[in-house]
Structure 1
Amino acid sequence: MFSFEQLRGFVAVAEELHFGRAAERLNMTQPPLSRQIQKLERSIGVQLFERDNRRVELTAAGAAFLAEARRLLALADNAPDMARRISAGSAGTVRVGFTAASTFATLPAILRRIDERLPDVDVDLYEMVTQEQTEALLAHELDLGLARPPFDGEVFDSRAISRERIMVAAPSGHRLTGLGRLVEPADLASEPLIMHTPGKARYFYDLVVSLVPIMHQNVVHSVSQVLTMVWLVSAGRGIAFVPEAATRLGIDGVEYLPLPDWVGTPVELHLLWLKEQRNPALWRVLDHLEGLTV
């Protein structure tokens, strides 16, 4: 096996094409440098230089090995600095779970902030509903979630990053769009409803049930993703309750109707992480996301 000392000697000779000048550059004498090159050639099993009393030239194998030797030396030189930056949290990887609805506005704002302030932190993204995110956080498969409350305060810390209204998505031309006033819960009691699946979208399900008396015979579809709901609304399958960010989807055939301010509570999205999280990069990310609201 070769050493980094041998690689540095090889690169110096390859760049100088002269053993004497290479030895001076390395602050050593020529005989030990020659022995380094000989050991390197024996180690890898090929001749790296054509040499005689008048000239030194790289062989084809030597020229190919030079590029790899430079790369290995660069990695070795950068490794201590990279380790220090990872330990300090200014470099590394953060695994982020997110709900589909968070991609409408919140997730892009977060990614822009990280890119601007922590360019050496990589972000791996995983689309998951809130329950899947909490399970992945507990299994240490995620570092950070973008999830809907409530959470177990004994295990998790969280920070609200987005609060928005809930709105009614209705097909264009629907009778609700011509009321000339804000939609009231009583206006919705008999409408065909595209509902959130209670198992995978419990937060939205509970929120909607608190807004209007849901008649199960009025539920025509149950789905877990807001985008799917809006597509079904555009197809005339019914109305749906969606976060205000859904208005940015730009799907034709859908109108978004506000509810009175007194109806319900805002839709919240939280940053979520384990209290015992040990990834230094996560703490730097959280520091730089402080104060960000979308």
Structure 2
Amino acid sequence: MFTLIQLESFVAVAEELHFGAAAERLNMTQPPLSRQIQLLERELGSQLFDRTSRKVELTDAGRTLLPSARQILDMAIKTELDVRRVSLGEAGAVTVGYTAIAGQSALPKLLRRAADEQPGVSLILRELVSTDQMDGLVKGAVDIGLLRPIVARPGIVSRPLMRDRLVIALPADSDLAGDGGPVALRALDGRPLMMYSTAEARYFHDLVLRLFASAGAHANITQYASQVPALLAFVEAGLGLTLVPASAQGLAPSGVQFRELEPSRGIKDLNRVDLEVAWNENNTNPAVRRLLDLLDTPPEDEGPA
């Protein structure tokens, strides 16, 4: 099988039609250049050049080889560059898991940064609840997760990314809609509450119960769902109310109104919704590390978060 150095030597001679000029171009002496051409001709079983004391010309076999040789050399250079880019995290693919709410807040910012600073990296997006993201991180099916704080697994590292708050989502015709001002949690006592699933949204389930308990209100749970869009659909249908992150207001159907929680001292301290970025510390994909660095560094036109 011929080698790349043999093809490179052949192309240089074919383009210069002079062994001395080709050797100078390749930064080598003429004897080893001639040797590479001889080895290539022997490998192919064809004479590639007609040589006389006055000139060098390509044979028919040489003219046939030249375009393919150039293509092979171009492909070799491209392959080397592609591999280098992947090893530097400038190319490749990263699978990003995200919750429905993260898809409205943190994810668009990440996509914009990645498009600007890692255009060669393909992002594979998967909307998953936090527990499924954690499973994916452990199994290697997810590279980076945008999820709620949950019990960590061995080898999974996380850090805070964004902070939000819960607001009340009400049917548009609710008597609590009022003038649009804040609503006390005690006003929700006994009203039908659309609640987060304990299996897939434990973080929000427990937070809502803590808020009701702090206000001395009874949580009258009548429906469960794992995702905010489903809870908002229940609210639009007039089945009750729910508490959702403020960043979820962009997901709201037209028949849903939002009210802030009245900020009593206890409520204000508890009403904190965190979003974390998580990854597997054993992940060797260089593009993952670069993407995590983007999340650490604010854009030039923004200050620290």
TM-score when normalising by structure 1: 0.77
1:214: which partner in 2? 219
- 2:232 corresponds to 1:230: yes
The answer on whether the counterparts of 1:48 and 1:62 sit within 8 Å (CA) in structure 2 is no
Q: Which amino acid aligns with 1:99?
A: T
The alpha-carbon distance between structure 1 residues 280 and 55, as it changes in their structure 2 partners (threshold 3 A), is closer
1:271: which partner in 2? 277
The alpha-carbon distance between structure 1 residues 184 and 48, as it changes in their structure 2 partners (threshold 3 A), is farther
Tell me the secondary structure at the aligned position of residue 274 of structure 2: strand
The answer on whether the counterparts of 2:50 and 2:57 sit within 8 Å (CA) in structure 1 is yes
1:169: which partner in 2? 169
Q: 1:254 aligns with which of 241, 256, 272?
A: 256
1:152: which partner in 2? 152
Between Structure 1 and Structure 2, how many residues are aligned? 282
Cα offsets for 1:80-139 (capped at 9, x unmatched): 8447x53xx666654432212101011122233344445555544332211122222223
The answer on whether the counterparts of 1:11 and 1:66 sit within 8 Å (CA) in structure 2 is yes
CA distance in 2, matches of 1:52, 1:291: 62
| Percent identical residues | 31
Equivalences for residues 31-180 of structure 1 within 5 A: 31-39=34-42, 41-42=44-45, 55-56=57-58, 59=63, 62-64=66-68, 66-76=70-80, 78=81, 81-82=84-85, 85-86=87-88, 93-119=93-119, 122-152=122-152, 155-178=155-178
The answer on whether the counterparts of 2:2 and 2:40 sit within 8 Å (CA) in structure 1 is no
The answer on whether the counterparts of 2:191 and 2:220 sit within 8 Å (CA) in structure 1 is no
CA distance in 1, matches of 2:3, 2:12: 14
Q: Which amino acid aligns with 2:275?
A: L
CA distance in 1, matches of 2:57, 2:284: 56
CA distance in 2, matches of 1:25, 1:67: 19
The answer on whether the counterparts of 2:200 and 2:226 sit within 8 Å (CA) in structure 1 is yes
The answer on whether the counterparts of 1:169 and 1:241 sit within 8 Å (CA) in structure 2 is yes
The alpha-carbon distance between structure 1 residues 95 and 175, as it changes in their structure 2 partners (threshold 3 A), is same
The alpha-carbon distance between structure 1 residues 69 and 287, as it changes in their structure 2 partners (threshold 3 A), is closer
Following TM superposition, by how much is the alpha carbon of 1:31 offset from its aligned partner in structure 2, in angstroms? 3.4
Tell me the secondary structure at the aligned position of residue 67 of structure 1: helix
Gaps of 5+ in 2: 213-217, 299-303
